[in-house]
Amino acid sequence: MSLYRLAWPLVRRFDPETAHALALWALRRRLVPARRPRPDPVLRRHVLGLTFANPVGLAAGFDKDGTAVDALAGLGFGFVETGTVTPRPQAGNARPRLVRLEADGALINRMGFNNAGATALAARLARRRHRAVVGANIGKNRDSTDAAGDYGACARVLAPLVDYLVINVSSPNTPGLRALQDRAAVDAIAAATREGARATRGDGGPPVLLKVAPDLTADDRAAIAACAADGTVDGLIATNTTIQRPDTLRAPDRDAAGGLSGRPLAPLATRVLADLYRRTGGTVPLVAVGGIDGPDAAYARIRAGAGLVQLYTALIYAGPGLVREVVNGLADRLRADGFTRVADAVGVDAASHEAPA
């Protein structure tokens, strides 16, 4: 049993947001013991013009302000996504705003983009030492009336310091944000993001991805796939948290307000991913996130169409040793099926997943 599992009865006595702040503090102080995964050439990835030591990343929202990027990369992640940050710092919604659904291996959050602002993140990223790929996930301030301007402002500040940018238009906790997933809004936001990035970075800017909600309609998914296929954005991240509440939920807090993440999100996130893979004919880099809780889930998501995967909620329940378990287990599963590189496994099962309603 891992040290983290042993400590869990103590961890769960803290309110979830306090426990999270303590975890980040312990990471920064290098108090989190975790054996790194073994480096393995089968896991090396070249995608989005970047090289990843392995395809397993930390999802956005865990280290919004980039306070522990080096320590998180040190756990063995192939990439770490910071953010969501907004141009100006903001407090987010009132606490409590993060709820554990322990019986379901899930969380519900309504954080509302609490963050220290893009400039503070940039200052921290300028000091980072680790070589892992680092992304910044960007959003708009709650009270902003110029969404595209906000994404552009974040891109301008962060582009020189990151390997990729993510346009987040899929959080359920900023009123009106998810309406920005339509074609016209994505076009305007992507253009502003690229323009902001080019203003401060000579090479044309980092790749720009779009993070989508699992609750999109088929028409929305068609529009998003078209944006990626025509190069408006360079890749897609599927998915953010869901506003749906699957019937399988057992925990007493199942009806809390906010976005649901973790194990119950996995079936829906997988179907959205496979649908986007089919719609883009496998030509667009896709990052899978949503309920990935071990090597089997990570491998299944790659087979469903993901070039890269990310985790968040499972880390809260399983602890930092999960990174090594997923990375090593993924290499074992690829080899067992005769694959010599991740790219050959991407999408082999995409046809077998039913499209979401």
Ligand X SMILES: Cc1cc2nc3c(=O)[nH]c(=O)nc-3n(C[C@H](O)[C@H](O)[C@H](O)COP(=O)(O)O)c2cc1C
Is the Cβ of residue 256 or residue 339 nearer to ligand X in the bound state? 256
Is the Cβ of residue 99 or residue 339 nearer to ligand X in the bound state? 99
At residue 102, the 3 state secondary structure works out as helix
Q: Which helix (H) or strand (E) holds 83?
A: strand 79-85
181 lines the binding site for ligand X (CB under 6 A): no
Lay out the site mask for ligand X across 296-335 (x = CB under 6 A, - = otherwise).
---------------xxxx---------------------
Minimal distance, residue 290 CB to ligand X, in Å: 4
Minimal distance, residue 189 CB to ligand X, in Å: 14
142 lines the binding site for ligand X (CB under 6 A): no
Phi, psi values for residue 99, rounded to 5° = -125, 135
Residue-wise burial string across 221-241, b where 16 or more C-beta atoms lie within 10 A, e elsewhere: bebbbebbeeebbbbbbbbbb
Please give the Cα distance from 280 to 160 (Å, whole number).
29
Lay out the site mask for ligand X across 16-55 (x = CB under 6 A, - = otherwise).
----------------------------------------
Is the Cβ of residue 98 or residue 159 nearer to ligand X in the bound state? 98
Helical H runs in the chain?
A: 3-11, 16-28, 69-74, 118-126, 147-158, 183-200, 218-229, 266-279, 295-304, 313-318, 321-336
How far from 75 is each of 33, 34, 204, CA to CA, in Å? Answer: 9, 6, 31
Is the Cβ of residue 60 or residue 350 nearer to ligand X in the bound state? 60
55-84 residues in contact with ligand X (CB under 6 A) are 59-61, 64, 83-84
How far from 40 is each of 10, 200, 246, CA to CA, in Å? Answer: 35, 35, 37
Please give the Cα distance from 244 to 213 (Å, whole number).
11
Nearest residue (beta carbon) to ligand X: 61
Q: For residue 312, which of 300, 323, 327 has the smallest C-alpha distance?
A: 323
Lay out the site mask for ligand X across 270-289 (x = CB under 6 A, - = otherwise).
-------------------x
189 lines the binding site for ligand X (CB under 6 A): no
242 lines the binding site for ligand X (CB under 6 A): no
Minimal distance, residue 338 CB to ligand X, in Å: 28
Minimal distance, residue 81 CB to ligand X, in Å: 7
Q: Which of 71, 136, 208, 265 binds ligand X (CB under 6 A)?
A: 265
Q: For residue 207, which of 49, 14, 12, 55 has the smallest C-alpha distance?
A: 49
Q: Which of 291, 305, 319, 321 binds ligand X (CB under 6 A)?
A: 291
**What's the DSSP call for residue 263?**
G
165 lines the binding site for ligand X (CB under 6 A): no
196-225 residues in contact with ligand X (CB under 6 A) are 211
Total residues in contact with ligand X, by rule CB under 6 A: 27
Please give the Cα distance from 68 to 58 (Å, whole number).
12
Distance spanning both ends of the chain, measured CA to CA = 40
Please give the Cα distance from 257 to 163 (Å, whole number).
34
From the list 144, 170, 171, 261, the catalytic residue is: 171
Minimal distance, residue 105 CB to ligand X, in Å: 9
Please give the Cα distance from 117 to 289 (Å, whole number).
24
Whether 171 is catalytic: yes
Minimal distance, residue 293 CB to ligand X, in Å: 8
At residue 119, the 3 state secondary structure works out as helix
Residue positions annotated with a catalytic role: 171
Residues lying near ligand X in the complex (CB under 6 A) are found at 59-61, 64, 83-84, 98, 107, 109, 111, 137, 168, 171, 211, 240-241, 261-262, 265, 289-292, 311-314
